[in-house]
Amino acid sequence: MKTTLRSEELRTRDLVARSILESGPLTAGALAVRLKMTPAGIRRHLDSLIEDGILEEREPHLRSARTRGRPSKVFVMSEKGREQFEHSYDDLAVAALRYIGAQGGEHLVTGFARQRADEIERKARPIVAGAKDRTKALAKFLSGEGYAANTHLRGTGIAGVEICQHHCPIAHVAAEFPQLCEEETRAFARILDTHVQRLATIAHGDGVCTTYIPQPNSKTEQMRKKKR
């Protein structure tokens, strides 16, 4: 009986961690509702995950003007937590790119990054092209590629949407070779046919990769199109 209970506890704990990985920063209350658990039950798993270094507790990134009192803290996946969900061969990839750079020059590393971005564009373009909401379609495609992405309206009063990638399968590689992130961002711009701006990346120590996409009717986007 104890073995069964232990196995069930581990499955629930894994479910809590995966929910945060896929959805991004969440409060204990939001997690309890999402997973249909009691606040006490969810808090027990959160405390265990924090103790093991899988999750971290942080102040919320944004606070609503309508929120009264002190905002609830949110839980995010730590670097150690991401490593447990990582399935790519980071060490081999880093070693290979180091060798390529040393033997042939940095332009070959950039060429590899560009080729990878071109492949992302090739696969995503037909999916995004016919979608009613192109940004959401791109986020859904990225989730299918292992990036656990979603979208939300930018909360600063500036018209636009942000794509948030809560997981990055190549974060450790991109930390040493930023060309991967740079070319990926350019691919997003081509796929969406608009200017985009990368605001944060997991590879550089941020909790999530964030890409800002201006809404078509924003002043910034109107000025950009006039210059074409």
- Provide the 10 A C-beta neighbour count for residue 96: 14
- Give the per-residue pLDDT at 157: 56
- Euclidean distance between the first and the last CA atom of the chain, given in angstroms as a whole number: 69
Q: Is the entire prediction scored with pTM above 0.75?
A: no
Q: Is 223 exposed, middle or buried (0-12, 13-18, 19+ CB in 10 A)?
A: exposed
Question: How many whole angstroms separate alpha carbon 211 and alpha carbon 185?
Answer: 8
φ and ψ of 8, to 5 deg = -65, -40
Tens of each residue's pLDDT in the chain, 228 residues: 344 446 677 788 888 988 887 777 889 999 999 899 998 999 999 999 999 999 998 877 554 444 555 567 889 888 888 777 665 457 778 888 999 989 888 899 999 999 999 999 999 999 999 899 999 999 999 988 888 899 988 755 567 899 999 888 888 899 999 999 999 999 999 999 999 999 999 888 888 899 999 876 444 444 444 554
Structural domains of the chain ordered from first start:
7-84 (1.10.10.10), 90-226 (3.30.1380)
Which pair of tokens denotes residue 179? 């060309």
